[in-house]
Amino acid sequence: MPNVVAYTPTPDSYVWTFGGAAPVATIAPGTVVELFTEDCFAGKIQSEDDLVSVVCEFPFLNPQTGPFYVEGAEVGDTIAVHFISIEPARDWAVSTTVPLFGALTSTHLTASLHDPLPELVWIWELDRQARTCRFSAKHSDFTTTLPMDPMHGTVGVAPANLEVRSALVPDAHGGNLDTPEMREGVTCYLGVNVEGALFSLGDGHARQGEGETCGVAVECAMNTVVVIDLIKGVTTPWPRLESDTHILSTGSARPLEDAFRIAQLDMVNWVAEELGLSHMDAYQFVSQAVQSPLANVCDTNYTSIAKIEKRHLPQLPFRNGTHDKLKALAASYRNGR
């Protein structure tokens, strides 16, 4: 049974940035952390009448739980965060439109003379037994369900270059990647930029479409369990993920083709290194094998995913077998409860 730490932040201990906040706990590698994350609205939207522009106070959006200081983590190392479980903490979730935010609207960056689109709130019913999210239209009586697929939109460490970044930003340090791939059973690898890594997470989604088109997912508070490991002397330039079936690279940038390029190049480098291929051979192989779902096309940076099925790769353990090691710890934790 691994060591277990429980942590539930109080509202005054939320953090709103990666970097720039003192750690809330020190975690030894191999530790399981049971934690709670509030939704991206800091829980302030509770009905269809609670508009973001009214009830939320910028920049206090997207509260993060953490940061956790990982013992022994130094610049040039990698931390691995394995998601043992991600469970909605309530039986409802919320989505909205936000003025001048989203992919199909003018924004502060894709600036125009248009007035903002209407600001609306949708409350989604979560059926945690049936694992569904119920959508009800606002302007008709249409209703339907989508599968629940809980995930964390925001997972990251303190950034490099002496920076402190808003929790709304995805970049090389992780942060607001908003990829549905960040789900239970997945290991997330993050390069360490400062001593202790300073890992935080938040922004739970009961589910999310690829691209997060309207800028907001099915947002909900989460009870989440992770197990954290440290890989000494291994760098990770951009966040990587590993599931039982896939390895995944991420790239976050604008324009979107630059996010694509980063993720694909990272995958080519990863495959070249693990399989001992030349870069041109890896480029060819990845080009034919890769899946390329989008993560977000609405945030400060856009995020693109490169994803390859492990069954198409020789049966190597990747990243020194960390994913399997953390799965074993997760099983031990589950058995021990």
Interacting residues with a copy of itself between 67 and 126 (CB under 8 A): 95, 97, 103-106, 108-115, 117-118, 120, 122
Kindly state the tokens that stand for 81: 């965060």
How far CA 283 is from CA of 74, 167, 294, 303, in Å, comes to: 31, 33, 20, 20
Based on the shown chain and the rule CB under 8 A, indicate whether residue 146 belongs to the binding site for a copy of itself: yes
Q: How far apart are CB 96 and a copy of itself at their closest, in Å?
A: 9
Closest CA to 201 of 164, 245, 156, 248: 156
Give 118's contacts (C-beta < 8 A, 6+ positions apart). Answer: 97
Strand, helix or coil for residue 249: strand
For 30, which DSSP code? T
Based on the shown chain and the rule CB under 8 A, indicate whether residue 176 belongs to the binding site for a copy of itself: no
Based on the shown chain and the rule CB under 8 A, indicate whether residue 218 belongs to the binding site for a copy of itself: yes
Q: How far apart are CB 119 and a copy of itself at their closest, in Å?
A: 10
Based on the shown chain and the rule CB under 8 A, indicate whether residue 201 belongs to the binding site for a copy of itself: no
Question: Binding-site residue total for a copy of itself (CB under 8 A)?
Answer: 93
Of residues 84 and 150, the one with the C-beta less far from a copy of itself: 150
Of residues 46 and 145, the one with the C-beta less far from a copy of itself: 145
Q: Which of 33, 70, 168, 194 binds a copy of itself (CB under 8 A)?
A: 168
Site string for a copy of itself, 9-28 (x = CB under 8 A): -------xx-xx--------
Of residues 287 and 332, the one with the C-beta less far from a copy of itself: 287
Kindly state the tokens that stand for 141: 């009586």
Residue 11's CB is within 10 A of a number of other CB atoms, namely 10
Based on the shown chain and the rule CB under 8 A, indicate whether residue 40 belongs to the binding site for a copy of itself: no
Closest CA to 202 of 230, 170, 231: 170
Of residues 129 and 161, the one with the C-beta less far from a copy of itself: 161
Segment near a copy of itself (CB under 8 A); pick from 23-31, 34-42, 73-81, 131-139: 131-139
Angle at 27 between CA 188 and CA 4, to 5 degrees: 90
Based on the shown chain and the rule CB under 8 A, indicate whether residue 283 belongs to the binding site for a copy of itself: yes
For 291, which DSSP code? B
Sheet with 240-242, side-by-side order of all strands = 4-7, 31-37, 222-231, 78-88, 187-191, 240-242, 246-253, 302-309
Site string for a copy of itself, 222-261 (x = CB under 8 A): -----------------------------x-xxxxxx-xx
Segment near a copy of itself (CB under 8 A); pick from 81-89, 156-164, 224-232, 240-248: 156-164
Q: How far apart are CB 83 and a copy of itself at their closest, in Å?
A: 20
Of residues 231 and 305, the one with the C-beta less far from a copy of itself: 305
Closest CA to 202 of 3, 4, 8, 2: 8
End-to-end CA distance of the chain: 9
Site string for a copy of itself, 285-324 (x = CB under 8 A): xxxxxxxxxx--x----x-x-x-----xxx----------
Of the CA atoms within 13 Å of residue 248, those in its CB half-sphere come to 29
Of residues 213 and 320, the one with the C-beta less far from a copy of itself: 213
Angle at 55 between CA 64 and CA 23, to 5 degrees: 15
Q: How far apart are CB 247 and a copy of itself at their closest, in Å?
A: 14
Closest CA to 250 of 326, 154, 318: 154
